[in-house]
Structure 1
Amino acid sequence: MKINGNEIRPGNVIEHKGSLWAAVKTQAVKPGKGGAFNQVELKNLIDGTKLNERFRSDETVERVRLDQKDFQFLYAQDDMLIFMDSDTYEQLELPQDFVGERAAFLQDGMTVTLEMYDGRPIGITLPQHVTLEVVEADPVVKGQTAASSYKPARLENGVRVLVPPFITAGEKIVVDTSELTYVRRAD
């Protein structure tokens, strides 16, 4: 679907210079002289490179729709992650760096959403929150009210987060997978 250059918004995926790009930031600029344009910061969905581009209102670009499909995480094997299509039961192998550091949050049977373009995975969305057990939490230092009241803790998956002083080893907590932060105690 073709759109004008001034209609590009953050989150849009466009085809530009023979590749797929996601708009990260946009800014409408109206200089005193000359025509208005849209200054767009783009991120390449294939290799992660960034690009700043100007699009005038009379330019058109191809907006791309990505298919979103639910997959179930099965297991990790060496440096590959194995997922199963929830509809067709076909398995898909992805390298661990495709998911990045958030791969530590993958749990057996977890449902994730893969963004696909021409049958090829472009991005992955994990559930917003996961419940994990705290395996190690630093003791609270009495009278430490001047500093922040959070203390470091290590979770069962090896990730370190800051937790409130009342959290102890053995407790289950809810963690935000995109921010890698403590949300609340698990029920």
Structure 2
Amino acid sequence: MISTNDFSTGITIELDGELYKVIDYEHTKPGKGGAYIQTELKNVDTGSTTTKRFKSGEKVKQAYIETRTYQYLYRDGDKYVFMDNDTYEQVDLTKDKLGAATKYLKENQEIKLEVYEEKIIGVQVPNSVELVVASAPPAIKGDTVSGGTKQVELETGAKVKVPLFIEEGDILKIDTRSGEYIERVN
């Protein structure tokens, strides 16, 4: 059990048999009445967000999330196949469960999966990944003066805006949190 006074962004709690991740919280002490914590919670299973008010000091069940290292093996239709690096067991995850992480998955890449009571509930991709440009429109002479951008497609199918000098075959460093171009890798 954890006190609502100890809430922090990112912790996972269990309410009414469902898991919620604390996205945001605010401790409020009004002039009249008792103090309370206003939270914004994200349902781990459905992805929906909700707001909930707790009394200050109220106890809730904290969900202890284990992080395990898995290796992404391959995509099989709508499923993404991963292998546990410790037990060598393979698990299939759908695009719905992985969310935006599918844009940054390369075969044989190691990523961390969040596990609660032997059930995979989330994925943690690295903050940045290096991906090859699969296709890029050519830069037209004269366009580079203004420092413009163009959209390219990466090896994973993700599309990202990059400077005009980027060409097909270049390796780019991409921020997985924002989906933005960071730099070209030599």
TM-score of the pair, normalised by structure 1: 0.90
Match of 1:139 in 2: 139
Any conservation in 1 of the 2:105–2:156 contact (CA below 8 Å)? no
Q: CA deviation at 1:160?
A: 1.4
Point out where structure 2 has 5 or more consecutive residues left out of the alignment: none
Corresponding position of 2:87: 88
Tell which deviates more after alignment, 157-166 or 65-74: 157-166
Query: Judging changes above 3 Å, is the alpha-carbon distance between structure 1 residues 102 and 141 closer, same or farther for their aligned structure 2 residues?
Result: farther
Q: By how many angstroms is 1:165 displaced?
A: 2.4
Aligned positions of 1:104-183 closer than 5 A = 104-134=103-133, 135-140=135-140, 142=142, 149-183=148-182
SS in 1 for 2:96: helix
Normalised by the length of structure 2, the TM-score is: 0.91
Give the corresponding residue for 2:42.
43
Which residue number corresponds to residue 17 of structure 1?
Answer: 16
Given that residues 136 and 168 in structure 1 are in contact (C-alpha distance below 8 angstroms), is that contact kept between their aligned partners in structure 2?
A: yes
Q: Is the 8 A contact 2:80 2:93 kept in 1?
A: yes
Distance in structure 2 (CA, Å) of the matches to 1:136 and 1:144: 15
Code of the residue aligned with 1:137 in structure 2: it is P
8 Å Cα contact 2:21/2:41 also seen in 1: yes
Amino acid paired to 2:165: F
Count of residues in Structure 1 that have an aligned counterpart in Structure 2: 185
Equivalent position SS for 2:136: strand
C-alpha distance in 2, partners of 1:163/1:143?
13
Structure 1 residue ranges without an equivalent (≥5):
none
Percentage of pairs with the same residue: 35
The separation in 2 between residues aligned to 1:25 and 1:138, in whole angstroms, is: 43
| Cα 1:141/1:57, change in 2 over 3 Å | farther
Off by >3 Å, runs of 4+ in structure 1: 143-146
